[in-house]
Structure formats: C-alpha cells, structure tokens
Amino acid sequence: MAKKMSSIIEAFIKIFTTENILFMLKGARISLLIAICGTGMGIVLGVIAAILKISRNRFLNLIGGLYVEIIRGTPMLLQLSFFYLGVPALYQQLTGNYWSAPALLVGIVAIAINSGAYSCELIRSAINSIDKGQWEAGMSIGLSRNEIMKEIILPQSFKRILPPLANEFIVLIKDSSLVSTIGVVDLMKSSTILGTKYYNYFVPMIGTAIVYLTLTLITSKLTSIMERRLAESD
C-alpha cells in the first residue's frame, strides 16, 4: 500500500511541474472566459426572450416560447455539435463553399444561447413578480409600456435575479468543459492532453477537479456576500 501511495506521489511531482501547472491555468482562464461571456450574452438573450414571452403579440410570444423550449429540451452537447459541425455543413450544401468558425467562438455562442434560455425563465418570473402598481404608476406619469419596462421594471427585476444568475454562472463554469469536445483547449482539454502525454489520466483529472472546485467555491462565496448585501439594502 505504501509503495502504491509513493508511486502516486511521484506521479503528481512528475506531472505537476511549473510548466504544466501554467498550462492548466491557461486552460482554466479559457473556461472562465467562456463562462463570463456566456453568462453576459445569455442575460441579454434572456431579457429579449423574456420580453417576447410576456408580449401581447402572439407571434412574438410564440418565437420566445419556441426558443426556450427547443434549447431547454435538447442537450448542450448536441447544441455545440450543431453549431460547430451542423451549421458549416448546411452552409456548404447551400453555397458549395467551405466555412468553419473558430471553435472558441462557437463554444461561447452555443453556451450563451443555452444560458439565455434558462435565464429567460428567471427574468420572466422576476418581471411578473413586480407589483402591478409599478406599471400603473409609470402610465400615470405618461410613460409608454416600453419605457416602463426599461426604466422601472427591468432595474427592479435584475436586483431580484442577481443571486440566481450568479448560480447560473457557477453552472456554466462546469458546463464549459463540454467545449473540449470540439477542440477548445480549456481546463478539461488541458488535463486530457497531459494525461495523454504522461499515460496517466488519474493525476491530471484530480488536478482539474481541484481547480474547478476552487473556482466554484470562490464564486459561491462571492454570491453569498452579494446576497447578504442585497438583503441589507432592501
């Protein structure tokens, strides 16, 4: 047993050199970039989809509903593959020309679209939770429906959904690992590369798990601090 533990420790020392640690941290930076961009773009898409879903126009309502149901009803891995492989294939069939987008860009866009569908329901619920008197107050001073939404409803809604959106960011940090399947050298892909290089996947995976856990714990702590401050400001 002691001999086996010694060999594992030796493997850790051999694999986790300064160069390899920096390589993994570079992958972690890519994972964070994807999560940050995905969350930011997802919020924008979520707001648009939420407004479409509560619209009095049936056509717009249908578009918003279809977007949410299709994205939430299909796996993110399928969505990544669709944008990375399916869309270029369709473009080639229609035009006869080859086209391929950078894998990182595809990963960010696909994750943002996925995040937008989930953020939509959070935002829609927050909008619906605002007292109707806010709408009446806005109309009483001559604001249009769009102006009331922009100046009164959305600012209050965002304050209510900031903690859930922070949790969505935590989810995206972990889900960003899926982009490794389309060739993006994120944290997950970097551990796979090191595993292949040293013929040892156990040690790099343990290191990867530690980094993911550190990122999510830090984000969770910051979310808790934000929730307390928001509660104090109410």
Closest to 111 (Cα-Cα) out of 136, 149, 84: 84
Tell me, what's the pLDDT at 3?
59
What pLDDT, in 10s, does the model give residues 103-160?
A: 999 999 999 999 999 999 888 887 777 777 777 777 777 777 777 777 777 777 777 7
Q: What is the 3-state secondary structure (H, E, C) of the chain?
A: CHHHHHHHHHHHHHHCCHHHHHHHHHHHHHHHHHHHHHHHHHHHHHHHHHHHHCCCCHHHHHHHHHHHHHHHCCCHHHHHHHHHHHHHHHHHHHHCCCCCCCHHHHHHHHHHHHHHHHHHHHHHHHHHHCCHHHHHHHHHCCCCHHHHHHHHHHHHHHHHHHHHHHHHHHHHHHHHHHHHHHCCCCHHHHHHHHHHHHCCCHHHHHHHHHHHHHHHHHHHHHHHHHHHHHHHHC
pLDDT digits (tens, 9 = 90+) for 160-177: 777 788 888 999 999 999
Model pTM score: 0.85
Q: What average pLDDT does the segment 30-58 reach?
A: 91
